Amino acid sequence: MRNTAKLTTAVLAAGALTLGLGACGSSGSDSASDTSGPLVVAASPTPHAEILNYIKENLAKKAGLDLEVKEFSDYTTQNPATEDGSVDANYFQNQPYLDDYNKKNGTHIVPVVTVHLEPLGLYSHKVKSADALKSGATIAVPNDSVNEARALELLAAHGLITLKDGAGSEATPSDITKNPKNLKFKELEAPQTPRSLDDVDAAVVNGNYAIEADLKPATDALVLESAKNNPYGNFLAVKDGNEDDPRVKKLAKLLTSAEVKKFIEDKYAGSVLASF
């Protein structure tokens, strides 16, 4: 798609080169038309890139898949890279986040296969239980709309706050109707939440960033999301129209294989949960 846009501009600027440029376009690297090269997948370092690298090192060759993993420490850049064709796919997000992103940005990213859940948790360096949080305590929460709502839903599920009916995946602190501990909220970029633990009383941290910070969600979290009926499973995603790319189909099959399920169970010991 990206090459086509560039070629169109060139044609308008220099009509005499139309045929030459058209030939270049037909042999370009656009992922929607050329599936002969490696499948380039953007991924957050933990656990997404780790899972993909396990596949690359242990399963891909036998399946006939040439896989290239590109790590992105900032998850907000992965959908733009997928939309503009810089990468062929990404693996980092859940459905509510993607729905919100596509709506706000007019993008066309679609899920392919759900792989795992990273339970969101509340962590603290200052107290040993959620009940021990003092009146007026400050809690850091992710500042993107979906993960902030998810963080507030977690606190509400454990009785720390009450949200107004229907707030759901768009909840913000303004939707809190009861706050018995008079909790205060510090909104931060999601990767910054574990780094804030020395500065706030507690922080709600995404599972992947918790693991990167050597936190163990299964044992260190004061409260943790339940995996039951959880809509926040992370999936492989592509730009709409690329779902039938044979390389994508091969990766989807490998991501939901028995070998990957065992890898997740063995490596993450409950901090990451296979969703298949």
Q: Tens digits of per-residue pLDDT, 170-200?
A: 899 999 999 999 999 999 999 999 999 999 9
Instruction: Tell me, rounded to whole angstroms, the distance of Cα 174 from its chain centroid.
Output: 25
Q: Which of 74, 43, 242 is nearest to 55 (CA)?
A: 43
Domain co-membership, 113 together with 236: yes
Same domain as 107, residue 61: yes
Does residue 28 fall inside a structural domain? no
Range of 254's domain?
Answer: 2-22+37-119+231-274
Split into its structural domains, the chain has a count of 2
Torsion sign, CA atoms 169, 172, 177, 181? positive
Give the three-state DSSP class for 158: coil
In 3D space, the residue among 82, 88, 94, 144 whose CA is nearest the CA of residue 118 turns out to be: 94
Q: List, for residues 135-147, the tens digit of each pLDDT value.
A: 999 999 999 888 9
Burial of 145 (0-12, 13-18, 19+ CB in 10 A): middle
Does this model's pTM top 0.75?
no
The verdict on residue 97 lying in a domain is: yes
pLDDT top residue among 88 and 16:
88
**Do 253 and 192 fall into the same domain?**
no
* 30 assigned to some structural domain: no
CATH number of the domain to which 56 belongs = 3.40.190.10
Degrees, nearest 5: CA angle 189-192-195 = 165
Same domain as 179, residue 238: no
| Position 7 in a domain | yes
Q: What pLDDT does 80 receive? A: 98
- 29 lies in a domain? no
pLDDT tens-digit series, residues 12-31: 333 333 333 333 333 333 44
Q: What pLDDT is stored for residue 109 in this prediction?
A: 98
- Cα–Cα distance measured from residue 235 to residue 109, given in angstroms and rounded to the nearest whole number: 12
- 241 and 220 both lie in a single domain: no
Confidence of residue 9 (pLDDT cuts 50, 70, 90): very low
Same domain (yes/no): 45, 107 = yes
Q: Considering the domain boundaries, does residue 86 fall inside one?
A: yes
Angstrom distance (rounded) from CA 5 to CA 40: 21
Q: What is the pLDDT of residue 1?
A: 40
Whether 32 maps to a domain, the answer reads no
Is the domain of 10 the same as that of 54?
yes
Least confident of 4-13, 88-97, 222-231, 247-256: 4-13
Residues 100 and 16 in one domain: yes
- Both 150 and 110 in one domain: the answer is no
Q: Is 152 within the bounds of a domain?
A: yes
144 and 252 inside one domain: no
What is the bridge-based pairing of β-strands 39-43 and 67-71? parallel
